[in-house]
Amino acid sequence: KIEPLAKDVEAQFERFMVDPIKLDKGCIAKTAIATCLASLEQGSAEIFLKGLRHIQLEPSFGGPVDTAVELRSQSAFGLPSTGYPDTVLELTTALADEAYPVRQAAVRALSAFGRLEVEPLLRLKALHGDPEPQVLSETLEALLVLSPERSVAFVERYLDASDDAVAEAAVLALGASRCEGAFELLTSRLDGSFTRSSLTRTVFLAIGMLRREDAIAFLMNVVTVGPRRRAADALRALAIHRYDEALSERVASAVAARAEDDLRELYEKEFSVER
């Protein structure tokens, strides 16, 4: 049984917390313990709460460095499995952590919680924004997973954000979600309604991320008959599937039929794999 071993590991965690910097420089041991317990879903709420609240400032050139960021992140992942009644409250606090990896972990943990009551909280996080685009993208993706029908329209508003990083976060969230409605929304942004061509390549990438037959067919059509620049963007998006030999052969045939050296070179670069 693994439970007794988990208790022994937790005891070691407590020992390292007595004098954190002296006994566990770099927070390496505590982080490893939290990671192990979280992956096995065996840790107690007490351990994960201590990890989630722990800040370990260690001397460094340029000022003290918090070495407990990954510990807090792993503790955020582990807490939901404990059944702790105030899990959502604790993760809400983590959403405001100074370190963006912890905020990102809190979003993922809330999403994995899988309960619709966290949807308003994630919406509020998205509306409030985040200085790190990865956190916003993760938040929007979590909403699309939790409640796809309601969230597609909510995420759509971010596509026209004045900040390119915010708009890109929304585009990538739609691609990662693979939810119904994302394909139509993304392709609609290629009909001239996007005012910023800088995001066009990201839209194509997101379409490739959907991993849907209609998305693949759309990209193949662009590679086959689309304008050269868009064909190149579609080719890069299809490269996500480079390990699909049948699809790679279809793309190769389409590129060969165009007889354009730059596209052929791009195909060779993007689809090169060791078999």
Q: What is the pLDDT along the chain (275 residues), one digit of tens a residue?
A: 567 788 899 999 999 999 999 999 999 999 999 999 999 999 999 999 999 999 999 999 989 999 999 999 999 999 999 999 999 999 999 999 999 999 999 999 999 887 778 999 999 999 999 999 999 999 999 999 999 889 999 999 999 888 899 999 999 999 998 888 899 999 998 876 555 667 899 999 999 999 999 999 999 999 999 999 999 999 999 999 999 999 999 999 999 999 999 999 999 999 987 65
How far, in Å, CA of 186 to CA of 235, rounded?
A: 17
pTM of the model: 0.84
3-class DSSP assignment, residue 162: coil
Report d(CA 33, CA 13) in Å as an integer: 7
**pLDDT for residue 154:** 96
3-state SS of the chain: helix, strand, coil percent to 5? Answer: 75, 0, 20
